[in-house]
Chains A and B, each alone.
Chain A
Amino acid sequence: MHPALQISEVIYTISSYAHQGSLPGLASTCRAFERPALDALWRDLQSVEPLVICLPSDLFSYGRRVGVPDVINCGLQTEFTCTGIAETS
C-alpha cells in the first residue's frame, strides 16, 4: 500500500469525494478503507429506506430488493461481506 494511504485523513478525504455508488466497492477494497467509506456511505441519507433494508428481511412481509434503489442494494451486499450482517439476518 502506498504510504500516503496509511494516513487516515487522506483516506477519509478520498472517501468523501467518492461517488455514492462507488462507496460500497471502496469499503470492500481493504480494511483501511472499510470504515471511512462506510462512514461516507451512511453519512447523509436521502430517505429512511436504507435503515429498513439493513434489518433482517424476515421481519417484514416484503421482498428485500423490491423497490430498493441499486445503490442501496449494492451497499448492502458490501455490508454483508464486510461486517457480517448476514449472521444477524
Chain B
Amino acid sequence: MWDTLCKYTSRVHSITQSVNSWFIQPLSSIMLSCTSSPASLFPRLRKLTWHAYGSQCAAEFLRMAFVPSLLSLDIRISSPSFTFLSVISSLGTLCPHLQDMSLVTYEPSKVFHKGSPFILQPISQLQNLHTLSIWDVGNQGIGHIMQLQALRSLSLDLREGPSIWGSQSHLQLPGFHDLEFFRLSANKLEDAFNFLNSLQVFRSKKIIACFDSAPSSNSEILTKFLAILQQKCDDNLEHFTLMFLRSARTRPDDFMPLQACHNLTQLHIRRGCDTSISGEELCQMVSAWPKLEALSIGGLSIGNTITFHGLISLLRLCPSLTSLSLAIDATKLDGIDIKRPGGEISSKHLKVLVLGNSPIDSPQHVALIISGLFPYLEQVEFDYWDSCMQAQKNTMIDRWTSVNTFLRCFSIVRERYTEA
C-alpha cells in the first residue's frame, strides 16, 4: 500500500488545502502508521498551503509534509492544538531551505501566548527565509527575525497582540538593515510609533502601513509616526502606502515629515484618509519628490480645492509621473487655455489617471484639457465615490464617461493626422 501511495505522492510539487475537509482525519490516521520518512513520501514537495484545521489530525499530516525540499509554506489557522504547534516548532530542522513562510491566525490574541514559544525556535533557525508574514511575536521574536540575514520581505501584524507596543519601550532592538518590503498592520498609530521607536535602524525600500483605528482629530500622532519612519528609514524609502480601515481626517501638514524622503517614487494615501488639500498645499508637499512616479491620494472630497492649475503645477514638479490618482475640482476651468492647457507642460509618460470623485460640468472642455496635458492617455479611470457625493454620482459618472468618449475620438483623429 505504501509503495502505491508513494507512486503518487512522489509526483506532488504543491498541496493547497484551502478549506476544512473530512479527508484530513483519515489521512492523518494513515500517516501515523507510515514507516516511510517524510522525505521519501514527498520528495518533490516545494509549496504547502494550509488554510484549514490546526487540529492534531492536521498536525500528523503536516509532520509528513514538512520535508527538506519545501520552499514555501502558507499556514492560516484559528485555534491550533499543541500537537500542531509542536510540529511547527520543528520547522527549522525539517525544512531548512524554506524561503517563504506565512503564519497567519484568525485569533491572534488567543494564539500569541500559546503559540509564540513554538514559533520562536524555527524562526531563529530558518536562515534562508526571504519572505515572512507573521503575527506579533513580541520583543524576543522580533529579535530573532532581525537576525535572519536573507530576509527581504516582512509582514508584521501587531493587531490584538500582547499590547507590548501600547507604551514606549526603553529597549532598543538592532532593527532591519536591508528590507525590500515591509507591511505593518496595527490597531493604532501609537502602536506602530512605539514599534518603530524601539528599533535602532529600520531600512526598507517599500513600506505599507495599515491601521484599524483612525487617529483622533487634532492628534499629532500621524506626524509623529511619519517623522519616526523617516528618521529610521533615512533616504532608503522609495514606496510608501498608508491605509486606514476607518475613515480618518488628515491634514496636508501631517505628511510633511515625508518631505525628507528624497528618493520617494511612490506615495499612496489610500481610501480612509480624508484630506482636504489645495493645489498649493499639494505642490508644496510633492516639491521634495522630483523622482515621484506614482501618486494616489484617496478620500479627497468636497473640501478639496485642487484645480487643473494645481494639476499642471504638479506635472511641472514631478515630470516622471506615470500614475496619478486624486480628486480635483474639474468644474473650475477659469484661466485654462483650451488650445494649450499646460503651456509648455505636458506628460507623455502618464499611463494611469484616476480622478476619483471629481466633480465635472463640461465633459468637452475637460477632455480637451486632459488630451492636451496627457497626449498619450487613452482614458480616465474611475475610483470610488465619496458618500457625501452619492446624490451626484450617476450624473458625474455619465460626464466622465463622455470625457472618455471624447478622448477616444481625439485619439482616432490624431492617428489619422499622423498617418496622413
Interface residues of A (CB under 8 A from B): 38-39, 41-56, 59-60, 67, 79, 83, 85, 88
Contacts and interface: CB of A to CB of B under 8 A. Distances in A.
A59 B31 CA distance: 13
Contacts of B9: 51
Interface in B1-17: 1, 3-5, 7-9, 11-17
A52 B26 contact: yes
Contacts of B336: none
Nearest to A51: B27
A43 B30 CA distance: 21
A85 B1 CA distance: 9
B311 interface: no
A48 B22 CA distance: 10
Main secondary structure of the interface of A (DSSP, over half): helix
A52 B24 CA distance: 8
A42 B13 CA distance: 8
Contact of B4 (A45, A48, A50, A54): A54
A41 B12 CA distance: 9
Contact of A59 (B14, B18, B30): B30
B27 A48 contact: yes
B418 interface: no
Nearest to A42: B11
7 contacts: A45-B15, A45-B16, A46-B16, A47-B15, A47-B23, A50-B8, A52-B26
B7 A83 contact: yes
A39 B11 CA distance: 6
Given A48-B15, A54-B8, 13 more contacts: A38-B11, A44-B12, A47-B19, A48-B27, A48-B61, A49-B21, A49-B23, A51-B5, A56-B1, A59-B26, A67-B22, A83-B7, A88-B1
Given A54-B4, A56-B1, A88-B4, A47 B30 contact: no
A60 B26 contact: yes
A39 B9 CA distance: 10
